[in-house]
A and B are shown apart, each in its own frame.
Chain A
């Protein structure tokens, strides 16, 4: 009964490939997020979706394309992978009801290594 789940947990791939990471939440939340944590451990938001609508796009290269088929899923597709894309990617969700009291729940992370 994991609240926020991500697949795969580990992803090793060659430079130039295209890959996808999937995220699902069973909390009934309206808002989902993708964060990137680099080798220096800085955790930065990339995208947020509210009820399948893109809300936040933090100047991420357009090689990264989030897709939300429904409000319980937010997938991240990455084209033409580069060495600098190696990082841990975290998915998160929140109720997204516009309240100032919002807690985000994070998934376990996907460790991406580009060779």
Chain B
């Protein structure tokens, strides 16, 4: 089972920042938080990951709370192409038998 909880859907106006929350209250100290997204009819796409510190790349920013029990993915200037299902994932294994367990994700609608 996925170790994360996300809202099923969210709306965001085009050009505004989209803030997607994720709860992972049972996360272990050595588990990373990953975010993937799946645009309609495509394979999942990696966005960003982090352990303790906040992270930023060309796609998004990841804010992890100090107790690591929740995080927020921020798309700073959402566009219509950001409409997708966003998955927050906690890594459950490491090494060769590593696997990603996808939850239900958040369906993000970017409104024109």
Expressed in whole angstroms, the Cα–Cα distance for A41 and B44 within the complex equals: 12
Q: A43-B102, A55-B97, A98-B94 are in contact. Are A109 and B49 (CB under 8 A)?
A: no
The interface residues of chain B, by DSSP majority, are classed as loop
* Complex partner residue of A90 from B44, B95, B97, CB under 8 angstroms: B44
What is the distance, in angstroms, from B23's C-beta to the closest C-beta of chain A? 19
**Is the C-beta of B63 less than 8 angstroms from some C-beta in chain A?**
no
Which residues of chain A come closer than 8 Å to B45, judged between CB atoms? 106
A37 to chain B, nearest CB (A): 9
Residues of B within 8 A of A4 (CB): 43
Count of chain A residues with Cβ under 8 Å from any Cβ of B?
29
Choose from A44, A90, A101, A107 the contact partner of B49 (Cβ within 8 Å): A101
Q: Which residue of A lies closest to B43 (CB)?
A: A106
**A56 at interface by CB-CB < 8 Å:** yes
Asked if A109 and B43 sit within 8 Å, CB to CB, the answer is yes
Chain A 38-52, CB-CB to B under 8 Å as 1, else 0, gives 000111110010100
CA A109 to CA B38, docked complex, whole Å: 11
A31→B98 CA distance, assembly (Å) = 10
Q: Which of B49, B96, B100 contacts A96 (CB 8 A)?
A: B96
Chain A residues in the interface with B (C-beta under 8 A): 4, 31, 33, 41-45, 48, 50, 55-56, 58, 90, 92, 94, 96, 98-109
Given contacts A41-B104, A48-B97, A106-B45, 5 further A-B contacts (CB under 8 A): A33-B99, A43-B87, A92-B44, A100-B91, A101-B49
